């Protein structure tokens, strides 16, 4: 056999082996056993069963690792409910915590463990293990919520837990009650916990409301109020939750800024920016969007969000101004006309903030490939405003305006500014000359 033919044969054999190997591993992933660290559920369950009753520290550590692995595998660990249920009676607190967490991660399929979980939680305060099991009760309440409606037998216990001295336990109990029965009272209870004098409790309550989802919007005013909480972590948690709730938060959040009562307005400004930025991507820059939908969506942004953020441009605190600038910029082309008009504001600080905002808007302009009637109307409206600023006496204002003109695609209508752009090539300000030349290349193809 010639060498070339031999190599062809070898290559064909290798390709065939690879195809066979790929076919053998391309089955439905659900047909393959779930594993963690190279071991299957059955292997981890066997390990846990063999060591969960062992008294030595080594066996306790092995049990903890096995329970943790089963929890990380999640729902496929349903076959391990029995040894995990035994593990929540372990003398080791760590084994208990990991076992009950694993049962929660398994979900509804862990319903058989509910009676044992309840029994281990429902201890009188006088019991010797009551205090040591405080963390276990919190974790167990969370797991009961994850198990969901099949854990309905735990409702009386969870209801009593709402009056427990452990506030973390109360928060997890309320969330579990919502997950099991969807009780609106659970949401109201969590909202009241936001005002707790312990920041950790307020934070946990907000995180729990976030896990409940849109139904928690019934307590919107309480979450908005948390934007001014004394603890920064709580303010951030409230801001993150509000940002996920979308346009319905614009008016109440902007209203708090306009009232001037916020000690820390930056989180509120952040919320307005995140919501407006999402609308920019999903609505304002959508190809061919209906003008009526565009106008209806833009109305609260222009009526409430933009004026509130513009108010913050004159705030004496730099972090507040920077957040307001970023949030305005996230509105993209929608905010550009408003910001451009501020370039000749009487307040020098506002003028500078407006200039910095206009520069940031460049990162949020619509792609050249996107077009709709409302965007074109925005561009026409903006063109006249930018040109007016390009004609100002102040060189810094002119430079910012020429830069804006160069960065925004005005299309054919931008050609109306060609005489002004050509004159600006001789401007005394170097930045004006540079941006005028850039704009000419964009508009006229001039070299």
Output the pLDDT for position 1. 39
Rounded distance, CA 90 to CA 95, Å? 6
CATH numbers and ranges of domains, the chain? 36-148 (1.25.10.10), 278-447 (1.25.10)
Q: Report CA torsion sign: 131, 133, 135, 137.
A: negative
Global pTM?
A: 0.85
Rounded distance, CA 310 to CA 347, Å? 12
CA R_g for the chain: 31
Using the 8-state DSSP alphabet, how is residue 369 labeled? Answer: T
Q: For residue 39, list its beta bridge partners.
A: 36
Strands 39-40 and 35-36: antiparallel
Output the pLDDT for position 32. 62
Identify the H or E element spanning 151. Answer: none
- Comparing CA positions, the residue from 326, 325, 295, 299 lying closest to residue 311 is 325
Cβ burial, residue 3 (10 Å; 0-12/13-18/19+) = exposed
**Token pair listed for 333:** 């082309």
- Please list the pLDDT of the chain residue by residue as tens digits (447 residues): 344 444 444 444 444 344 334 433 444 445 567 899 999 999 999 999 999 999 999 999 999 999 999 999 999 999 999 999 999 999 999 999 999 999 999 999 999 999 999 999 999 999 999 999 999 999 999 999 999 999 999 999 999 999 999 999 999 999 999 999 998 999 999 999 998 778 899 999 999 999 999 999 999 999 999 999 999 999 999 999 999 999 999 999 999 999 998 999 999 999 999 999 999 999 999 998 999 999 999 999 999 999 999 999 999 999 999 999 999 999 999 999 999 999 999 999 999 999 999 999 999 999 888 889 999 999 999 999 999 999 999 999 999 999 999 999 898 899 999 999 999 999 999 999 999 999 999 887 655
Output the pLDDT for position 7. 45
């Amino acid at each position: 056999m010639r060498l070339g033919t031999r190599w062809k044969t070898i290559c064909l054999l290798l390709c065939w082996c690879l195809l066979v190997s790929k076919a053998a591993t391309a089955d439905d992933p659900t047909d393959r056993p779930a594993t963690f660290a190279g071991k299957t559920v059955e292997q981890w369950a066997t390990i846990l069963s063999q060591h969960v009753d062992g008294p030595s520290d080594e066996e306790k550590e092995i049990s903890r690792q096995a329970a943790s692995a089963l929890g990380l595998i999640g729902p496929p660990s349903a076959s391990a409910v029995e040894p995990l249920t035994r593990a929540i009676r372990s003398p080791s607190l760590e084994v208990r915590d990991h076992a009950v967490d694993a049962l929660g991660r398994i979900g509804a399929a862990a319903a058989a463990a509910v009676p044992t979980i309840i029994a281990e939680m429902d201890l009188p305060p006088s019991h010797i293990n009551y205090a040591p099991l405080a963390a276990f009760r919190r974790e167990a309440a969370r797991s009961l919520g994850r198990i969901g409606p099949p854990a309905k037998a735990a409702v009386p216990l969870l209801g009593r837990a709402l009056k427990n001295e452990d506030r973390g336990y109360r928060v997890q109990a309320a969330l579990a009650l919502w997950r099991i029965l969807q009780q609106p009272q659970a949401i109201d209870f969590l909202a009241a916990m936001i005002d707790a004098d312990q920041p950790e409790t307020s934070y946990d309550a907000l995180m729990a409301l976030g896990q409940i989802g849109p139904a928690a919007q019934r307590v919107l005013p309480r979450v908005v109020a948390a934007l001014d909480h004394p603890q920064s972590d709580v303010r951030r948690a409230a801001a993150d939750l509000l940002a996920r709730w979308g346009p319905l938060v614009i008016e109440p959040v902007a209203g708090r800024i306009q009232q001037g009562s916020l000690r820390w307005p930056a989180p509120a400004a952040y919320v307005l920016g995140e919501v407006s930025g999402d609308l920019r991507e999903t609505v304002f820059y959508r190809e061919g969007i209906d003008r009526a939908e565009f106008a209806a969506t833009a109305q609260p942004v222009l009526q409430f969000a933009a004026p509130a953020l513009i108010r913050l441009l004159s705030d004496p605190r730099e972090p507040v101004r920077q957040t307001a600038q970023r949030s305005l910029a996230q509105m993209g082309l929608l905010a550009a006309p408003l910001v451009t008009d501020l370039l000749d504001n009487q307040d020098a600080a506002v003028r500078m903030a407006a200039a910095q905002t206009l520069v940031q808007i460049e990162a949020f302009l619509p792609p050249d490939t996107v077009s709709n009637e409302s965007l074109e109307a925005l561009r026409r409206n903006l063109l006249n405003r930018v040109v007016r600023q390009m004609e100002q006496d102040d060189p810094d204002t002119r430079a910012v305006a020429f830069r804006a003109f160069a960065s925004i695609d005005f299309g054919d209508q931008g050609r109306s500014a060609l005489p002004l752009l050509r004159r600006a090539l001789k401007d005394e300000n170097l930045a004006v000359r540079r941006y005028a030349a850039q704009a000419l290349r964009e508009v006229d193809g001039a070299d």
